[in-house]
Structure 1
Amino acid sequence: MTQAGEGEIRRIRPAQFHTTAGLEDWRVLGEGACAYFRTGSFTAGARLVQAISEVPGVGSGRPDIDLRHEGVTVRLVTITDDYYGLTERHVELARQISAVARSLDVPADPSALQGVQITVDALVGPDVMPFWRALLGYRDRADSGEDLIDPHRRGAQFYFQRMDAPRPQRNRLHVDVWVPYDRAEARIAAALGAGGRLVSDAAAPSHWVLADPEGNEACVGVAGAPGPDA
């Protein structure tokens, strides 16, 4: 682990998070650790959000919470001037949030989680990023010179991938779908069964490149799957 620039708070990697006991409800996606709780009604969801707001220290963890009729999604991620990711603080906070959900008989459903990133292929990233930054109202991600993020933490992250040469016969913009590590196989199978094809699994088990019937590409990615190769 490395120091995070947050006092004594230490950064942790996705694989460390996943192998920590008591975090079975959570999955690390491309933008932090997430959990989805099926509430079944807006009222039940509001009760869960209220209970989460009363967890000691929850304010310092700054969780992002999305309340819908069907359920509540909670995301834990630290965004500072020099870091974008998880810290040890999130481990205990995740445990406490799960405990609150259990006390209200609200089940977690990790299979419902996913994150989306838009990847733009660019010959010279610094030349094209200002356009997208201004168009979207995004800002630079602190720890990366190739990413733009929504300052309101709602929209999909944009990643600028360097090309060595123009590729006029290939799409220059594609979607990355981040799924829980234990859902990647099923998601890929579903996409292939819907007419897609596997372009490359050279980077598996971290990500796979797929394409639709007309050759438009998309990637399925996971973060920190437990195991010797994590």
Structure 2
Amino acid sequence: MTYAEGRAERIRPQRFHETPGLEDWRVLGEGACAYFRTGSFAAGARLVQAIGALPGVGDGPPDVDLRHEGVTVRLITITDDSYGLTERHIELARRISSVARTLDIPADPSAVQTVQVTVDALARPDVVPFWRALLGYQDRANSPEDLIDPHGRGAPFYLQQMDAPRPQRNRVHVDVWVPYDRAEARVAAALAAGGRLVNDADAPSNWVLADPEGNEACVGVAGRPGTGPARP
């Protein structure tokens, strides 16, 4: 295997989480994310500029969201045949965290999350084209049931295959992906706010909740340290 091939090797979320030096980052449903509390737009702009100057950052640059109070950075590879994390992201995440520390900008791993909309479908191949056209989205690599925003702004849509109709249950729900060390607190907060637990058979990776009127939502975690083999 060449050096370039090694850097492009796909890795699982757990492999990322268990690598030293990545404490600022959390893998969510849509890549590895970090949030840096800059306190001002100018400080955030300096951080973004410093990230842009990192060696090799142009080889699949990170997604960056600059706001006046902070900067969110997402690392993910999206190609025609790949969607996820690679060995390269480990090195890049370390360098980004190092730059932030040099600028005295703290990270807040508890502040990241991603949201996905899930639509249940009895005839998924018939339903996907409608949502693709309506949203202006595109198919996710190697995953015909997933639609993503080509501009990386909107929440992804997942078209979930149903085996039979489910009377009295909603067929559209929201999946909220949170850091592995914040999931139980988020579930507890939702329950305290009037929700109820529908299913926790897949906890601590996924909980199905419902609001007081029965509308469902899921809280999900993309891997966590110490749960099995770190490599695919």
**TM-score normalised by structure 1 residue count:** 0.96
Report deviation, 1:62. Answer: 1.3
Alignment of 1:22-41 (within 5 A): 22-41=21-40
Superposed, which structure 2 residues align to 1:1-230 within 5 Å? 7-8=5-6, 9-229=8-228
Deviations 1:124-173 (A, max 9, x none): 11110000000000000012121000000111010011111112311000
CA–CA separation in structure 2 for the residues paired with 1:81 and 1:107? 35
Maintained 8 Å contact 1:121/1:160? yes
Please list the CA deviations of residues 59-96 of structure 1 after superposition, one character each: whole Å capped at 9, or x if unmatched.
11310000001100000000011110000000000000
- Aligned partners of 1:198 and 1:210 also within 8 Å: yes
- Say if 1:137 and 1:150, in contact at 8 Å, map to a contact too: yes
Secondary structure of 1:190's aligned partner: helix
Higher relative contact order (CA 8 A, sep 6+): 2
Deviations 1:15-69 (A, max 9, x none): 0000000000000000000000000110010010011111111111310000001
Q: Kindly provide the amino acid, as one letter, of the partner of residue 53 in structure 2.
A: E
**CA contact 1:184–1:222 (8 Å) conserved in 2:** yes
1:223, 1:7 → 2: CA distance? 25
Q: Which runs of 5+ in 2 are unaligned?
A: none
CA distance in 1 between partners of 2:48 and 2:83 (Å): 24
Moved runs in structure 1, 4+ residues, more than 6 A? Answer: none
Q: 1:43 is aligned with what amino acid? A: A
Equivalent residue letter for 1:125 = R
**1:84 alignment partner AA:** Y
TM-score w.r.t. the length of structure 2 is: 0.95
Q: How far off its partner does 1:229 sit? A: 4.8
The alpha carbon displacement at 1:208 in A equals 0.4
Asked if the contact 1:61–1:89 (Cα under 8 Å) also holds between the matched residues in 2, the reply is no
Point out where structure 1 has 5 or more consecutive residues left out of the alignment.
Answer: none
DSSP 3-state at the match of 1:35: strand
After TM superposition, give the deviation of residue 193 of structure 1 in Å.
0.5
Deviation at 1:116, TM superposition (A): 0.1
Q: Secondary structure at the match of 1:75?
A: strand
Aligned length in residues = 226
Instruction: Give the percent of matched residue pairs that are identical in Structure 1 and Structure 2.
Output: 79
Which AA in structure 2 matches 1:54? A
Whether the 8 Å CA contact 1:61–1:90 is kept in 2: the answer is no
Which letter does structure 1 place at the counterpart of 2:151? Answer: H
Q: CA RMSD in A?
A: 1.2
CA apart distance, 1:205: 1.4
Cα separation, 2, equivalents of 1:48 and 1:173 = 38
After superposition, the C-alpha distances for 1:103-126 in whole angstroms (9 at most, x for unaligned) are 000000010000000000000111
Distance in 1 (CA, whole Å) between partners of 2:67 and 2:198 is 36
SS at match of 2:144: coil
